[in-house]
Amino acid sequence: SAVISQKPSRDICQRGTSLTIQCQVDSQVTMMFWYRQQPGQSLTLIATANQGSEATYESGFVIDKFPISRPNLTFSTLTVSNMSPEDSSIYLCSVEGWNGYTFGSGTRLTVV
Amino acid sequence: AQTVTQSQPEMSVQEAETVTLSCTYDTSESNYYLFWYKQPPSRQMILVIRQEAYKQQNATENRFSVNFQKAAKSFSLKISDSQLGDTAMYFCAFFTGNQFYFGTGTSLTVIP
């Protein structure tokens, strides 16, 4: 299965600033997914990112707050913009390859 | 290296029967959390059950229970009285407090 390198693994950020999370995949994949996990909750799908098209956002998530880039078939970024303490979560990327799903190791974000 | 292995890519079970999904993992950490997630076609990741590694008692959540064997690094999920709505992908994962590690998933089909 694909291998994903997700960076940063954790960060502490000031409110009002932005953080960009990167996911690099070792093979070309069509679909990449971004999730958020708030403490004690399920992983919530933020958006689906396909190369060459705008990301598709789930209900409750908007592009202005979570802009996503997908410049090629092996890379994607998620930016958490104008952060508030409510954005403190773990963010994960995931890809769907020919033999199943692979997940990044997560980015633990704390907003102070 | 920290890994999660789900050795059963696909499984099926008759409605109302019991099925067990296997998961093994490898880690040098002593404190961690274990999870089972259910992924329906919407690609949301629904938390089914979680287990703290320091707890010896197996977690139970309604029809879902786990058999956690820390020494063997095994964390299987038992679904009792299977229902058609249980049809989904199931992912096993562990969280070290900093990073997530996921298995590749087991596709479960409940047969009427």
For A105, name the nearest residue in chain B, comparing CA atoms only. Answer: B100
pLDDT at A63: 96
How many residues does this entry show for chain B? 112
Q: Which of A43, A90, A99 sits opposite B37 (nearest CB)?
A: A43
Over the stretch A31-82, which tens digit does the pLDDT of each residue have? 899 999 987 778 899 999 988 888 999 999 999 999 999 999 999 999 999 9
Q: Tell me the backbone φ, ψ of residue A67, rounded to 5 degrees.
A: -65, 140
Shortest Cα distance from A59 to chain B (angstroms)? 12
How many residues does this entry show for chain A? 112
Q: Which chain A residues are closer than 8 Å to B43 by Cβ?
A: 33, 45, 48
Over the stretch B38-51, which tens digit does the pLDDT of each residue have? 998 888 888 999 99
Query: Which parts of chain B register pLDDT below 50?
Result: none
Q: Which residue has the tokens 């996921």?
A: B102
A61 CB within 8 Å of a chain B CB: no
Residue contact A101–B102, C-beta within 8 A: yes
CA-based nearest residue to B20, from B71, B73, B65, B70: B65
Q: Which chain B residues are closer than 8 Å to A42 by Cβ?
A: 37, 44-47
A34 CB within 8 Å of a chain B CB: no
pLDDT at A81: 98
For B104, name the nearest residue in chain A, comparing CA atoms only. Answer: A101
Please answer whether residues A48 and A31 qualify as being in contact, where contact means their C-beta atoms are separated by less than 8 angstroms.
yes
For A38, name the nearest residue in chain B, comparing CA atoms only. Answer: B47
